[in-house]
Amino acid sequence: MKLIFKFLAITTLTSSTALFTSCGSLSGSKPKEVVVPVKTSKPSLSSQATLAKKVLNHPKITLLRKQVSGRLDSASSYHNIASTARGYSAKRSSYGTAPGGYVKLRKQMLQTMLYLADTKGYSYRITSIAGGSHSRTSRHYAGIAFDVDMINGRKVSYSNPYYKAFMRAGRAKGATEVLGPGNKAHSSHVHLAWPR
Ligand SMILES: [Zn+2]
């Protein structure tokens, strides 16, 4: 009671009746808790599974269910996102230079997939994430890269009017390896990758 009184005395200096009222309602708690607000941490970011679920069900994002080569190996972009949405790692392919095994997809990349569709308004198709055969040290195998071959209903090529801005948007979201038409072996797709 003594402590509450002390607190009331402090608040009177700057207070209004409203403060007194709120004080009364808090009379059961320690004054210290009233004066020093409990520090709350920032709300935690969505988990990979939650983000992947959104990607999976996003009307503007199409996920290829096979490899670009036509191969069916459960490591397609669709399979990668679907297993991440269920809380599992994404499967890598086991042909060419692909190392096989599984890898967790990075949150930042999944967030960017949603950003490109939601904030930037692109509809696009992802042809490859952790699966497929790429260069030997490809960031795809680390779960930090994805490829896009269609943007706003048009194939990625020099004449696609959207790919440059799409690449810029990826760079703005932290992608450091951004390739597309004009770069070797990327005339038909955009590649976005994050630092290791
Ligand atoms: Zn790529």
Centre of ligand 1 from the C-alpha of residue 30, in Å: 57
Centre of ligand 1 from the C-alpha of residue 180, in Å: 9
For residue 129, what are the CA distances in angstroms to 34, 86, 121, 141?
50, 17, 21, 8
From first CA to last CA, the distance across the chain in angstroms is 58
Say how many residues make up the chain.
Answer: 196
Give the separation between CA 159 and CA 141, rounded to whole angstroms.
Answer: 30
- Its pTM stands at 0.77
Q: What is the CA radius of gyration of the chain?
A: 25
3-state helix, strand, coil in the chain (%, to 5): 35, 15, 50
Centre of ligand 1 from the C-alpha of residue 2, in Å: 68
Tokens found for residue 168: 């810029």
Tens of pLDDT, residue by residue, the chain (196 residues): 444 444 444 444 444 444 443 443 444 445 555 555 555 555 545 799 999 999 999 999 999 999 999 999 999 999 999 999 999 999 999 999 999 999 999 999 999 999 999 999 999 999 999 999 999 999 999 999 999 999 999 999 999 999 999 999 999 999 999 999 999 999 999 999 999 9
Give the separation between CA 49 and CA 182, rounded to whole angstroms.
Answer: 34
Centre of ligand 1 from the C-alpha of residue 146, in Å: 6
Centre of ligand 1 from the C-alpha of residue 122, in Å: 19
Centre of ligand 1 from the C-alpha of residue 145, in Å: 6
Centre of ligand 1 from the C-alpha of residue 181, in Å: 12
